[in-house]
Amino acid sequence: MGPIVTSIRSPMPAVIDGIGFHYAAHETPDADAFADFHVQIGWPPGVRRFIRPTATFRVDETTAFEPLPANQGFPLLEWGMNWCIAAHCDQYLILHSAVVERNGCALLLPAPPGSGKSTLCAALVARGWRLLSDELALIDIDQLVVTPIPRPISLKNAAIDVIRTFWPEAAIGPVVRGTLKGSVAHVRPPASSVERQRESVRARWIVLPKYAEGAPTTLSTITRGTALMRLVDSAFNYTVHGRRGFETLAAVVEGAACCDFRYGGDLDAAVKALETLTSEG
Amino acid sequence: MSQVQDPIWRVVAPSALTEREWNDELVVYNDLDGHTHHLAPLGGKVLLALLEHADGLSGTTLIERVGELLAIDDAPVLAPAVEEALDELGKLGLIAPVGA
């Protein structure tokens, strides 16, 4: 996926089916090809599988998280791969941000959990924007471009049905209930986005989304300083890069229009507002 | 103002700082502690003024210089705000009085 090669092994049907459904458009390298990460989603050892079936996440032969109920195997795989990338791929400056592209430029949607980032991302992709990532903005420090890593869009709770209604053609996998984040379902990334996963783009818009139920759609310009501090807060490995991390984010901010964005239930209005923003100049 | 009442202020480690100024706001990265600060307009001007003078500036001179940067020719009005900014920048570890 994108610049990352992951070897995944699992005997769990839900994981195998999830990979088959969500990653159908992705390349599958030879089994002996180099992999950045060797991931296993498996059953617990011994008879525990039959007493309390859980899914364990192991990367490079190390257990990374507490086991989760077996039905959460595919979400665990997605969360685990996010962690692998965020914690290890320091060749990039990595932001907790959705990234979509329109007219050859990237729109960053950095936001903490619960801000409606993924819902907005899915809505934009539904209207033809290219998906670069739902979760991680990989900023190439040398080129100052965003490297795509199109993977399933993670929807939670009410957002699942919201997107089903807004985007009836969306390929949404099974709803997994009872996770730490509530009910979770993933949207398959469009094949067109996967096909273009080697096309990096510069960020031209930084939009800080905030969902508030019933709120009108409002887009307001923020200062570059405010935007930069939000990017700093959303970065996983800013401190790793030190001064260069600051210079990278400052350059990204200098090349982008920066806005706060509030939206409520009207996804059409939200998409329209962002289409207007990205049509200007 | 005596030396005791009007200390010389200087930037703790000028070479450790990287800054960007956009309109009236200053964002500064401190390589010594890895922190990034978004400074209010006056604080930004105070820091920029001190960065111009590696040996530091007295409070009185600093007020004059900040007044020039902000085009405000009213030292009595500016003085308490500059003192507040000095205190804030000091707490952030960006500046310190000479000899401290």
Are residues A6 and A104 located together in one domain of the fold?
A: no
- The dihedral through the CA atoms of A92, A114, A23, A64 has a sign that is positive
Q: Choose from A222, A238, A243 for mutation: most chain B CBs within 10 A.
A: A243
The reply to whether residue A243 touches residue B23, judged by beta carbons under 8 angstroms, is no
The reply to whether residue B27 touches residue A229, judged by beta carbons under 8 angstroms, is yes
Are residues A107 and A188 located together in one domain of the fold?
A: yes
Say which of B18, B22, B38 has its CB closest to residue A247: B18
Please list the ranges in chain A whose pLDDT falls under 50.
none
Report pLDDT for B4.
52
Residues of chain A found within 8 Å of residue B25, distances taken between Cβ atoms: 223-225
Are residues A142 and A264 located together in one domain of the fold?
A: yes
Cβ-proximal residues to A172 (8 Å cutoff; 6+ apart), any chain: A155, A160, A163, A164, A185, A186, A187, A188
Residue A267 three-state SS: helix
Q: Is the CB of B15 inside 8 Å of chain A's CB atoms? A: no
Are residues A126 and A72 located together in one domain of the fold?
A: no
Round to whole Å and give the CA distance between B16 and A232: 18
Round to whole Å and give the CA distance between A120 and A159: 10
**Domain that residue A271 falls in:** 92-281
Are residues A7 and A129 located together in one domain of the fold?
A: no
Q: How far is CA B27 from CA A37, A76, A237, in A?
A: 37, 38, 19
Please list the ranges in chain B whose pLDDT falls under 50.
1-3
Residue A5 three-state SS: coil
The reply to whether residue B18 touches residue A223, judged by beta carbons under 8 angstroms, is no
Report pLDDT for A32.
80
Structural domain ending residue among the three candidates A22, A55, A88? A88
Cβ-proximal residues to A228 (8 Å cutoff; 6+ apart), any chain: A249, A250, A253, B20, B27, B36, B38
Report pLDDT for A281.
57
Report pLDDT for B2.
43
What is the C-alpha R_g of chain A?
19
Query: Domain count of chain A?
Result: 2
Are residues A140 and A83 located together in one domain of the fold?
A: no
A254, burial (CB in 10 Å: exposed 0-12, middle 13-18, buried 19+):
middle
Q: Which of A276, A274, A273, A272 is nearest to A107 (CA)?
A: A274
Are residues A38 and A152 located together in one domain of the fold?
A: no
Assess contact for A225 and B38: CB atoms under 8 A. Answer: yes
Q: Which DSSP symbol is given to B100?
A: -
Domain ranges of chain B: 8-97
Q: Which of A166, A186, A168, A167 is nearest to A176 (CA)?
A: A186
Cβ-proximal residues to A161 (8 Å cutoff; 6+ apart), any chain: none
Are residues A131 and A252 located together in one domain of the fold?
A: yes
Backbone angles phi, psi at A237, to 5 degrees: -130, 35
Backbone angles phi, psi at B26, to 5 degrees: -125, 130
Query: Which residue in A has a C-alpha nearest to residue B25's C-alpha?
Result: A225
For helices A117-126 and A158-166, give the axis angle rounded to 10 degrees: 10
Chain A residues near any Cβ of chain B (below 8 Å): 223-226, 228-229, 232, 239, 242-243, 246-247, 250, 254
Are residues A36 and A64 located together in one domain of the fold?
A: yes
Structural domain ending residue among the three candidates A88, A109, A132? A88
Are residues A149 and A135 located together in one domain of the fold?
A: yes
Are residues A145 and A238 located together in one domain of the fold?
A: yes
Structural domain ending residue among the three candidates A88, A106, A122? A88
Q: Which DSSP symbol is given to A229?
A: H
Assess contact for A242 and B34: CB atoms under 8 A. Answer: yes
Please give the span between the terminal C-alpha atoms of chain B, in angstroms, as a whole number: 19
ipTM of the complex: 0.92
Are residues A54 and A125 located together in one domain of the fold?
A: no
What is the C-alpha R_g of chain B?
13
Report pLDDT for B3.
47
